[in-house]
Amino acid sequence: MHRIFLLLMLALLSGCVQPQFVDKPYPRWGEEFQVPGSTDTGEAATPAQSLLLRVMSPPAENPPAGCLLLVHGMNEHIGRYEDVARFFSQRFMVAGFDYYAHGLSNPVLRQADRALSDGAGRQDASDAYLAQAALDDLEPMRRDLDRAIKETVRICDTQHKKNKPVFIIAHSLGALVTASYMLQQQDANSPVSRIAGVVFLGPGFAVSEVPGWRGWLANPLIKLSFHAETHFLHPHDEPLPVLIFNQLVSLLTVPVLDGIFEVLSWPGIRRFATPSAPDWVVDYLTDSAHEKANLKGDGWIIRRSLLRYVKGIESEIVQFRRHMDGFSTPYFLIYSVHDPITPAWGSKDFIHATLHNHPDNACRALPQSRYHQHLFLTEPLRSRLLHDIEQWLNKRV
């Protein structure tokens, strides 16, 4: 029965498998810094394992008030944030990077960029999503975030006055990566000790709720999987009959779904079980027709998501929610009340658990909005949100 439900969900929610091409070099901005890395075996880093950090600073006559790291969302890339970086670079040194398996941190996309830069024609990037094979959890992304924060702090201290405040602006899955990373880094000597505040935009603190007729089939399965993961070997002070029921459901459901998602992520099978992202996703990202056209024509955005990666994100959300009340860094959180990609209940739960943890914590709900990418909305709301973020950052400065 689980197999039937899963196959039906995949058939309904996914678009057709289509080839993906890039025909222009990656959209770089700012000055580029290469951050060396190392393999898991301790060998020297290769170019594909290095991390590219791009930095944009205010004019020399205007020393920055602080330094700011941009963290992008699932399957996108930091290259599309040039206008955002330019806005904040009027007052801050701004840095950004592509985390694991995304943008120029993806070996297929990096090779395509090299070929285009050398004068080659259109490049096939259809297999870029296969770099997600190692993402059964978000640890590779947290490692890249750790490197990016350390390099941002180093450049900030080297190029500008030492000990300036450092901030993070993180979107969607990038917010989940950032928040879970900061919960792990509690040591006084960790890079988190330099972070003066975090801005969360549409944070991925909840599983998606598919809109429209597709949700009639998909959402019960998504909720069942999330409920089972939440209660799997973790009692929640329920009455004994409810506890027994939840544990039975979890013990039966979690191993089955984990196994199905893993099998569907195997080589060969995954080419048929990992179709392209459905068209409805773009409709809920932004209300801007210009940005929608940019999204559809952007070959550097990964169009497919390996099911192992999707299941790993769900497990990470469950794990984060168990410990999120310990999040102590000051934050400003913005969310759309009708966003189906990262539903509002995840943000509301986080706010309820943490708002009292610091007097500068703040939140803003957009009650009429269903859109997910707040920095790519139409005017005048986009500018209002940018100025609200800047005002909160200035307060923390």
The single residue listed with the structure tokens 């959209």 is 27
Give the pair of three-digit tokens for residue 160: 């500008």
CB contact set of 42 (below 8 Å; sequence gap of 6+): none
pLDDT of amino acid 264: 65
Q: Which pLDDT value is given to residue 273?
A: 67
Domain total of the chain: 1
Could you give phi then psi for residue 332, rounded to 5 degrees? -125, 120
Distances (CA, A) of 177 to 100, 144, 237: 11, 10, 28
Q: How far apart are CA 145 and CA 174, in angstroms?
A: 9
User: Consecutive sets of 10 residues in the chain, 397 residues long: mean pLDDT of each?
Assistant: 41 58 95 78 47 94 93 97 97 97 96 94 93 92 96 92 92 98 84 93 94 78 79 73 74 74 71 72 95 94 90 93 95 98 97 98 97 97 97 95
3-state helix, strand, coil in the chain (%, to 5): 50, 15, 35
Domain with 242 in it? 2-396
pTM equals 0.90
What pLDDT sits at residue 332?
98
pLDDT of residue 224: 77
CA–CA gap between residue 362 and residue 2 (Å, rounded): 41
Q: Map tokens 């941009």 to a residue.
A: 70
Contact call for residues 68 and 153 (beta carbons, < 8 A): no
CA distances from 254 to 1, 13, 19, 231, 259 (A): 14, 21, 33, 10, 8
- Which two structure tokens, joined as six digits, stand for 244? 């027994």
pLDDT at 44: 40
User: How far apart (Å, rounded) are the C-alpha atoms in residues 345 and 114?
Assistant: 42
Structure-token pair, residue 66: 């602080």
- Residue spans of beta strands (DSSP E) within the chain: 21-22, 31-35, 51-56, 66-71, 92-97, 123-124, 166-171, 195-201, 331-336, 362-366
Instruction: Please report, as a single letter, which amino acid is at residue 89.
Output: S
The confidence score (pLDDT) of residue 38 equals 56
Domain harbouring 36, CATH code: 3.40.50.1820
Helix (H) or strand (E) segment spanning residue 351: helix 344-354
Which pLDDT score is estimated for 365?
Answer: 98
d(CA 331, CA 153): 19
Q: What is the pLDDT of residue 279?
A: 79
Element (H, E) at 68: strand 66-71
